[in-house]
Structure 1
Amino acid sequence: MSAADSQHTLPLPEGLVRVDGASEPPRRRMWPWIVGFAIVAVLAVAAWFAAEAIARQIVTGIVRDQVRTQLALPPEQQIDVDIAGAMLPQLIGGTIDDITISSEQVPLGESGVTGDVVVSAQGLPVRGEPDLAGATATVSLDEQQLQKLLSSLDGFPAETVGLSAPNVTMTLDLRVFGAQIPIAVALTPSADAGDIVLTPASFTLGQSEVTADALRAQFGRLTDTVLRDWDVCIADQLPAGATLTGVQVDGTRLVADFDVDGRIATDPALQQNGTCA
């Protein structure tokens, strides 16, 4: 073995061509690109969510201010605004798809009656003044609020009113030869031509439940105020663009449902309170 053969062969510097003509391409490390892309993606997502949060805060603030202004509510009135879905795409598209606004103890008209109100609107325009795609509302009253509403009815014993699902309850006194005979009445609420209608469903005399025929046979025309329906007009306490569609007792509250005319956003006549015949 010669001295040349016994010497170790040193590796060729990177990029040089081997004697046999083959070459090794330089190795490219991909992980810095992957990390860089991941960082950019994270920053983009963070920026999106930051912009989303800011946009949502601005829009909900504007909605609260408008509701307080339109309803002449005090600045401290708590108003909850819930906007479904991502805010930014809806603003870019020019329409808020679904928004729910709710508040408690909202004055209804000038009667002094208050109620808890929830309004759900679809297709709320962001720019310009086109009509809403649609809206519904619910107004719920507790026992005291309902008593105040019914106190405007002539001859109705509003101070005795209670709520026992599915009925409204009251007690009427019949005067017979100077004596007062209390009759407890359960009234089923319904909606008819925009009014709340309270229809007698059952009667209790003393400790016994009796029929309408039995009452009339025993007391005659004195029972007219007990057996009658009671029509409660609320049109003068709500915008003309809201139409009563249903009413029921839910637990300890009377809940009224309304359809809202989509033109209410642009028609001043629909924004004004309605009238009672």
Structure 2
Amino acid sequence: MSSGDTKPTEPLPEWAVAEPVPPRRRRAWPWIVALVVLVVLGVVVFFVAEAIARDVVERTAKTEIAERLALPSDQEVDVEIPGLVIPQLLGGSLNEVTVSSDDVAVGEFEGDVTVTATDVPVQQGADIGGATATVTLDEAQLQSLLAQVDRFPSETVGLASPNVTITFELEVFGLSFPIGVALAPSVSEGALVLAPASFDLAGASIDAAAISERFGPIADVVLQDWTICLAEYLPAGVTLTDVEVSGDSIVVNADIDGAIVTDPALQANGTCG
């Protein structure tokens, strides 16, 4: 048979052609689950470590404060550190630390004290960025402070925002005249100053000139300013900035020099004037 007589090529029947086998798809979900588990474990470990670090820092702060201020062993001290502690520790300082305690003995009186410090270094021997302090006295605590002032009727002290109130008894010819005085508080060179703002005689408003004219020299005790040195009870690094009567308390605010933690001169008690 000649080459021209070859049969044309025919396609194979369908039964002879094998179906292509699709590649097996590898399931990814076990890896996803493993990754999620690792992430969750990492988060848990971080927050456990964070809780431990916060507890250690707060307990250390409480101990240091109690020792430095010679507080009683049962004195309650609250420490608040905003934000995550671990990143701050790694950065070398705490952004902000607020310490507060009620009924802290300050010299001859007691008050509720709150101190907020910024940029508090982790290592010892370094200054803090700065701090502010607030001393809050209720009526009884203010009476205790003012009882140290000669001739001041501390047992009559009251608080009526924005003033401190007192009552004097002036005697003339055997008769007693109650004079109520509203005292405006301010601070000056480390002292609390109480200056007469208004008067009343037996419940009726009266001015300073009328009191002086009616009672003469014995009225001087009613008309005078009262100055109470607070700096002598506080470290020299604490500067009084302002004072106000708020509700049933009087609040004294102060700035604290950041070098107070390292400078003995700033740690010693201050003076007025």
TM-score of the superposed pair, with normalisation by structure 2: 0.91
Please report how far the alpha carbon of residue 129 of structure 1 lies from its aligned counterpart in structure 2 after TM superposition. 1.7
The equivalent position to 2:227 in structure 1, one of 225, 231, 238, is 231
Whichever residue aligns with residue 46 of structure 1, its letter is V
State yes or no: 1:137 paired with 2:133: yes
Please report how far the alpha carbon of residue 201 of structure 1 lies from its aligned counterpart in structure 2 after TM superposition. 0.9
Please report how far the alpha carbon of residue 23 of structure 1 lies from its aligned counterpart in structure 2 after TM superposition. 6.1
State yes or no: 1:194 paired with 2:194: no
SS at match of 2:25: coil
The equivalent position to 1:155 in structure 2, one of 151, 154, 170, is 151
Whichever residue aligns with residue 251 of structure 1, its letter is G
Please report how far the alpha carbon of residue 273 of structure 1 lies from its aligned counterpart in structure 2 after TM superposition. 1.5
Whichever residue aligns with residue 139 of structure 1, its letter is V
Structure-1 residue corresponding to 2:4: none
Identical positions, percent: 49
Whichever residue aligns with residue 234 of structure 1, its letter is L
The equivalent position to 2:92 in structure 1, one of 91, 94, 104, is 94
The equivalent position to 1:82 in structure 2, one of 55, 80, 83, is 80
For the 8 Å contact 2:96–2:116, the answer to whether it is kept is: yes
Please report how far the alpha carbon of residue 238 of structure 1 lies from its aligned counterpart in structure 2 after TM superposition. 1.0
Structure-2 residue corresponding to 1:106: 104
The equivalent position to 2:248 in structure 1, one of 252, 263, 268, is 252
Please report how far the alpha carbon of residue 179 of structure 1 lies from its aligned counterpart in structure 2 after TM superposition. 2.2
Q: How many residues are paired up?
A: 261
Structure 2, unpaired ranges of 5+: 1-12
Change (3 A) 1:6 1:91: closer
State yes or no: 1:179 paired with 2:175: yes
For the 8 Å contact 2:189–2:272, the answer to whether it is kept is: no
Could you list the per-position Cα deviations for residues 1-58 of structure 1 after superposition, in whole angstroms to 9, with x for gaps in the alignment? xxxx898x9xxxxxxxx858x6633311111111111000000000000000000000
Could you list the per-position Cα deviations for residues 189-212 of structure 1 after superposition, in whole angstroms to 9, with x for gaps in the alignment? 011122111011111101211111
Please report how far the alpha carbon of residue 178 of structure 1 lies from its aligned counterpart in structure 2 after TM superposition. 2.6
Distance in structure 1 (CA, Å) of the matches to 2:173 and 2:268: 49
Structure-2 residue corresponding to 1:14: none
SS at match of 2:88: helix
SS at match of 1:209: strand
Alpha-carbon RMSD: 1.8
Change (3 A) 1:6 1:265: closer
Change (3 A) 1:245 1:233: same
Q: Which moved more, 1:216-225 or 1:27-36?
A: 216-225
Structure 1, unpaired ranges of 5+: 10-17
Structure-2 residue corresponding to 1:122: 118
Whichever residue aligns with residue 269 of structure 1, its letter is A
TM-score of the superposed pair, with normalisation by structure 1: 0.90
SS at match of 1:156: coil
Question: What is the correspondence of 1:164-175 to structure 2 with a 5 Å cutoff?
Answer: 164-175=160-171
Structure-1 residue corresponding to 2:26: 28
Please report how far the alpha carbon of residue 133 of structure 1 lies from its aligned counterpart in structure 2 after TM superposition. 0.5
Whichever residue aligns with residue 174 of structure 2, its letter is G
Q: Which moved more, 1:220-229 or 1:113-122?
A: 220-229
Distance in structure 1 (CA, Å) of the matches to 2:92 and 2:175: 69
Distance in structure 1 (CA, Å) of the matches to 2:74 and 2:236: 27
- Deviation beyond 2 Å, 4+ runs, structure 1: 22-26
Distance in structure 1 (CA, Å) of the matches to 2:112 and 2:14: 99
Whichever residue aligns with residue 127 of structure 1, its letter is Q
The equivalent position to 2:42 in structure 1, one of 41, 44, 47, is 44
Distance in structure 2 (CA, Å) of the matches to 1:76 and 1:221: 50
Distance in structure 2 (CA, Å) of the matches to 1:76 and 1:48: 33
The equivalent position to 1:53 in structure 2, one of 48, 51, 54, is 51
Distance in structure 1 (CA, Å) of the matches to 2:14 and 2:22: 26
State yes or no: 1:275 paired with 2:271: yes
Distance in structure 1 (CA, Å) of the matches to 2:105 and 2:156: 23
Whichever residue aligns with residue 169 of structure 1, its letter is T
Distance in structure 2 (CA, Å) of the matches to 1:79 and 1:131: 22
